[in-house]
A and B are shown apart, each in its own frame.
Chain A
Amino acid sequence: MATITLDTVRKVYGGAVEAVKGVSIDIADGEFIVLVGPSGCGKSTLLRMVAGLEDITTGEIKIGDKVVNNVDPANRDIAMVFQNYALYPHMTVYNNLAYGLKNRGMAKDEIDRRVKEAARILEIGDYLDRKPRALSGGQRQRVAMGRAIVREPAAFLFDEPLSNLDAKLRVQMRVEIKRLQKSLKTTSVYVTHDQLEAMTLADRLVVLNGGNIEQIGAPIEVYDKPASTFVASFIGSPAMNLLKVKTDASGLAFETGAGLSGANPHGRDRYIAGVRPEHLDVVPAGSPEAALTLKAKVNVLEPVGAESYLYAECGDGGPEIVIRVESHAHFEPGQEIVLSAKAKDVHFFDADTGRRIDG
Chain B
Amino acid sequence: MKKVQFDSRLTPYILLLPQLAIVAIFFLWPAAEAVRSSFYLEDPFGFGSTFVGLDNFKDVFADSNYGRVVRFTGVFTFCVTFFSLAIALVLAVKADKVIHGSSAYKTLLMWVYAVAPPVAGLIGIFLFDQHVGPIVKMFKALGWDMRIGVNYNDTGFAMVVVAVWKQIPVNFIFLLSGLQGISKSVQEAAAIDCPSGFRRFWTVTFPLLAPTGFFLLIINITYALFDTFGVIDVLLKTQPGDDPITLVYKVYQDGFRGNDLGGSSAQSVILMVVVFVLTVIQFRLIERRVHYN
Interface residues of A (CB under 8 A from B): 51-53, 72-75, 78-80, 82-84, 86-90, 99-100, 103-104, 131, 133, 147
Contacts and interface: CB of A to CB of B under 8 A. Distances in A.
Interface residues of B, number: 20
Interface string B242-266: 0000000000000000000000000
Query: Interface on chain B toward A: helix, strand, loop, or mixed SS?
Result: helix
A316 B231 CA distance: 86
Nearest to A104: B195
A103 B196 contact: yes
B177 interface: no
B194 A90 contact: no
Interface string B201-229: 00110011010000000000000000000
A3 B196 CA distance: 26
Given A74-B193, A88-B204, A89-B292, A103 B186 contact: no
Given A74-B195, A75-B195, A104-B195, A99 B203 contact: yes
A72 B210 CA distance: 27
A271 B204 CA distance: 57
26 contacts: A51-B188, A53-B192, A72-B195, A73-B188, A73-B191, A73-B192, A74-B194, A80-B188, A80-B192, A82-B185, A83-B185, A86-B186, A86-B188, A86-B189, A87-B189, A88-B204, A89-B293, A90-B207, A90-B208, A90-B210, A99-B190, A99-B194, A100-B194, A103-B195, A104-B195, A133-B292
Contacts of A147: 189, 193
B140 interface: no
B246 to A, nearest CB: 36
B68 interface: no
B199 interface: yes
Contacts of B208: 89-90
A103 B199 CA distance: 8
A84 B183 contact: yes
Contacts of A87: 186, 189
Nearest to B182: A89
Interface in B75-100: none
Contact of A74 (B183, B185, B191): B191
B189 A82 contact: yes
Contact of A100 (B186, B193, B207): B193
Given A90-B210, A90-B292, 7 more contacts: A53-B192, A74-B194, A86-B186, A88-B186, A88-B204, A99-B193, A103-B199
Residue of A87, A90, A100, A133 ringed by the most chain B CB atoms within 10 A? A90
A187 B219 CA distance: 51
B190 A82 contact: no
B190 A88 contact: yes
Contacts of A72: 191, 195
Nearest to B187: A86
A84 B195 contact: no
A103 to B, nearest CB: 4
Nearest to B186: A86
A110 B233 CA distance: 62
Enumerate the 6 nearest inter-chain pairs by beta-carbon distance, A residue then B residue, closest first: A100-B193, A86-B185, A74-B195, A86-B189, A103-B194, A89-B292
Contacts of B186: 86-89
A327 B190 CA distance: 50
B293 to A, nearest CB: 6
A338 B194 CA distance: 64
A100 B192 CA distance: 8
Contacts of A75: 195
Contacts of B194: 74, 99-100, 103
Given A86-B183, A100-B194, A103-B195, A80 B189 contact: yes
